[in-house]
Amino acid sequence: MRRNRRVKILATLGPSSSEPEVIEKLYRAGADVFRINMSHTDHDRLKMLVERIRSVEEKVGRPIGILADLQGPKLRVGTFANGPVMLENGARFVLDADKTPGGQDRVHLPHPEILKALEPGHRLLLDDGKIQLKVIDCSAQRAETEVIVGGKLSDRKGVSVPDSEIATSAMTDKDRKDLVAALAQNVDWIALSFVQRPDDIAEVRKVVRGQAGILAKIEKPQAIGRLHEIIELSDAIMVARGDLGVEMPLEQVPGLQKQITRACRKAGKPVVIATQMLESMITAPVPTRAEVSDVATAVFEGADAVMLSAESAAGDFPEEAVATMDKIAREVEQDPHYRTIIDAQRTEPEATGADAISAAARQIAETLRLAAVVCYTTSGATALRASRERPTSPIIVLSPVVQTARRLALAWGLHCVAGDDVANEDDMIDRACRVAFEEAHAKPGQRIIVTAGVPFGTPGSTNLLRIAFVGSDGQGGL
């Protein structure tokens, strides 16, 4: 079963999409990777969902990626003694270390790390940015603020501190337990929320030890300032536009989306565009025109994947949401302007053998109009370099490691096939031709180009490039 598009679709599972038959419908509608949100999932449910996804995978015969999304630190104010309070513009309001229930003039802030990080002039955003405070005076015990944008404030509303770098880990105790549980279930990707600095990635990598890919969610201004370091240390990036739009001016988010997408393309790391892509489809069977345009923009820009959150997890039309995203992506990729934009963003290959071979394979495939680019890979590195090139020919990935094939389901244009290891170079060429033929990417008499690393099984050693004819029986020949 092959997709007629290059961009991938990441669908979140939830109350609307936990049953095996619904998961299968979402896959057949176009979902390539399933996201499990650990904010709403205990370990028993995680195990159940993974088993159901793997059951669907076995039924459809295609590798399916699974992403476990860690909750991250949830910063909230305390409680109020007499119910919600109304904060008026220009009023003074104090957040402090006193655990007593709050009132009209103050509230407990149960996060000493925030109080230590604040400085005069810093902003505090409460309740998803609806209320904005500016720090006038502060200490390690209290912060006196002026209400810039007022409103009703009630118990345990969220707190964002866009101007302050908080000296705390991106992982909570809950996250550490969830991470261990997710690795025990052999998920393919771990998403780390509220990344501020490269050290946050390094901390997770010590636990993961190569068992899964690490995806850093960019949703804090501090991460933007160190974006290139974070991309370098991560295996993939997510532009989490919801929280990013709370902590930064909304009008800056589209530009940042383009900046992050292009930086990831240059680095050869998959990038996912997420949040509110088809938000109205939570309750409606069709999206708004603006949402269609939003998804199309991400596809035009060359994002590796676009994501559905509540639309597929808790909405009334999960299957329709995936199918709609699939239709938008296919239409964009057939647009005459699509190739122009994708090709214009191509950067020079890095000075490595893998990059040089991948760039040459793309150029040869386009010059000779070859039916497919086939990558034989154990670690996935060869395939990611091929994806970075964004060739016009389909990219088929052959891997003897099913975990590699599943992980690569997130990357642009990769049609992954897991199978037995190859005995030698001729065996690899035969298998590449046969798979290209069986998966309807190449017809008898057409040619394909194959890249691999020799000796086989040595990660990062891409050094082989071969052109082969597809025979009448699907076998290969030079």
What DSSP string runs through 415-437?
A: EEEE-PPPSSHHHHHHHHHHHHH
Which residue is catalytic, options 5, 106, 197, 217? 217
Asked if CATH classification 3.40.1380.20 holds for the domain at 353-477, the reply, yes or no, is yes
Average pLDDT over residues 46-60: 98
302-351 confidence digits (pLDDT tens): 999 999 999 999 999 999 999 999 999 999 999 999 999 999 999 888 88
Please identify which residue in the block is written with the tokens 């057409």: 446
Measured in degrees and rounded to the nearest 5, phi and psi for residue 120 equal -55, 135
The predicted pLDDT at position 476 comes to: 64
167-214 confidence digits (pLDDT tens): 888 899 999 999 999 999 999 999 999 999 999 999 999 999 999 999
- Report the run of H or E that residue 361 belongs to, with start and end: helix 353-367
Q: Is the pLDDT of residue 478 over 80?
A: no
Contact criterion met (CB below 8 Å) for 477 and 430 = no
The predicted pLDDT at position 477 comes to: 59
Which residue is catalytic, options 12, 261, 275, 377? 275
Side-chain-side CA neighbours of residue 70 (13 Å) = 31
Contact criterion met (CB below 8 Å) for 255 and 262 = no
Q: Is the pLDDT of residue 473 over 90?
A: no
The predicted pLDDT at position 472 comes to: 78
How many other C-beta atoms lie within 10 A of the C-beta of residue 344?
8
| Topology of domain 85-160, CATH | M1 Pyruvate Kinase; Domain 3 (2.40.33)
Nearest of 318, 389, 303, 390 to residue 350 by alpha carbon: 389
Contact criterion met (CB below 8 Å) for 415 and 399 = no
The predicted pLDDT at position 169 comes to: 82
35 is catalytic: yes
Q: How confident is the model at residue 467 (pLDDT cuts 50, 70, 90)?
A: very high
Distance CA 179, CA 311 (A): 25
Which residue is catalytic, options 47, 76, 116, 226? 76
220 is catalytic: no
Homologous superfamily in CATH for domain 8-72+170-333: Phosphoenolpyruvate-binding domains (3.20.20.60)
Contact criterion met (CB below 8 Å) for 243 and 219 = yes
- Report the run of H or E that residue 266 belongs to, with start and end: helix 253-267
265 is catalytic: no
Amino acid in the structure at residue 290: A
Distance CA 28, CA 385 (A): 28
The predicted pLDDT at position 431 comes to: 94
Which residue is catalytic, options 6, 35, 390, 447? 35
The ranges assigned to domains in the chain are: 8-72+170-333, 85-160, 353-477
275 is catalytic: yes
Distance CA 144, CA 155 (A): 19
Contact criterion met (CB below 8 Å) for 101 and 92 = no
What percent of the chain clears pLDDT 90, i.e. is strictly above it? Answer: 88
Do the domains spanning 85-160 and 353-477 agree at the CATH topology level?
no
Task: Output the CA–CA distances (angstroms, integers) from residue 119 to 96, 99, 108, 219, in the order listed.
Answer: 14, 22, 18, 21
Contact criterion met (CB below 8 Å) for 272 and 306 = yes
